[in-house]
Amino acid sequence: MRRATDMARAGQWPAERATGAVTLDFGSRHRRRLRLAADDGAAFLLDLAKPVALRDGDGLHLEDDSWIAVRAAPEAVVDITCADWRELMRVAWHLGNRHLPTQILDGALRIRNDHVIVDMVRGLGAEHRQPTAAFAPERGADGTWQAPQNLGEPVNTSGIDFGAGLSGDGSILFFSRDGELMMISLDAALAGVGTLGGEDAGQSASD
């Protein structure tokens, strides 16, 4: 089976030498090693040294010195708009807080279709539409996700913390720890009193 062992960004490879194209959705464009089929049905092995976030127009370099063009497949997405940029920034904060891949458009944000997130952004007062389009979210400057880093206490703890959010008045920080809803005063958290890494880190919302 032919192997694609290298890649080049759009405009940095000889597109005129492409022998075919492969059309991939977002999930399939961030891989290191995967058996793929070009649009003409010809099979090849993606076999890169490390995972790379491929984008529309990139090229895959095969061992026989041929190239295959990468095409972004249209998929179900959600385009989010707001009355003004401040409200759009607020929505962007909530999307980032949930670590959702997000594409920045002109006056809008694009995410993959997710009915839970759609309900959330509607609750925040945003409007949305659900087209079928290519999805190209923001990534690291080098085109890859950054490697996870343990920042130590109080950021990283022995518990499994995720899903942080603020109360409507911005005074209470809610988060999930090991599957249990927790809460702590935002002022206390920022001041390091009862920090999230300590034994007195917040209290159960059910207490």
Q: How many domains does the chain have?
A: 3
- The answer to whether residues 80 and 59 belong to one domain is no
In a domain, 139, yes or no: no
In a domain, 40, yes or no: yes
DSSP summary character for residue 197? T
The mean pLDDT of the chain is 82
- The answer to whether residues 47 and 84 belong to one domain is no
In a domain, 146, yes or no: no
Per-residue pLDDT band for 176 (boundaries 50, 70, 90) equals: confident
**DSSP per-residue codes, 66-100:** -EEEEEEPPEEEEEEE-SSHHHHHHHHHHHHHTT-
Least confident window among 3-7, 37-41, 92-96, 97-101: 97-101
In a domain, 141, yes or no: no
Residue at a domain's end among 72, 94, 120 = 72
- Nearest alpha-carbon partner for 74 in 24, 29, 133: 133
- The answer to whether residues 43 and 98 belong to one domain is no
Domain CATH code at residue 86: 3.30.70.790
Q: Which residue has the tokens 């022995």?
A: 158
> Residue 108's beta-bridge partner residues?
105
- The answer to whether residues 106 and 56 belong to one domain is no
- The answer to whether residues 102 and 55 belong to one domain is no
In a domain, 100, yes or no: yes
Element housing 189 (H / E): helix 186-191
pTM (global) more than 0.75: no
CA distances from 142 to 4, 40, 167 (A): 20, 30, 36
Structural domain that includes position 14: 2-72
- The answer to whether residues 123 and 178 belong to one domain is no
Domain CATH code at residue 9: 2.60.260.20
In a domain, 156, yes or no: no
In a domain, 116, yes or no: yes
Residue 2 has pLDDT above 80, yes or no: yes
Per-residue pLDDT band for 156 (boundaries 50, 70, 90) equals: low
Q: Give tens-digit pLDDT for 55-85.
A: 999 999 999 999 999 999 999 999 999 999 8
Report the alpha-carbon distance of residue 205 to residue 27 in Å, rounded.
Answer: 36
- The answer to whether residues 85 and 57 belong to one domain is no
- The answer to whether residues 20 and 56 belong to one domain is yes
In a domain, 155, yes or no: no
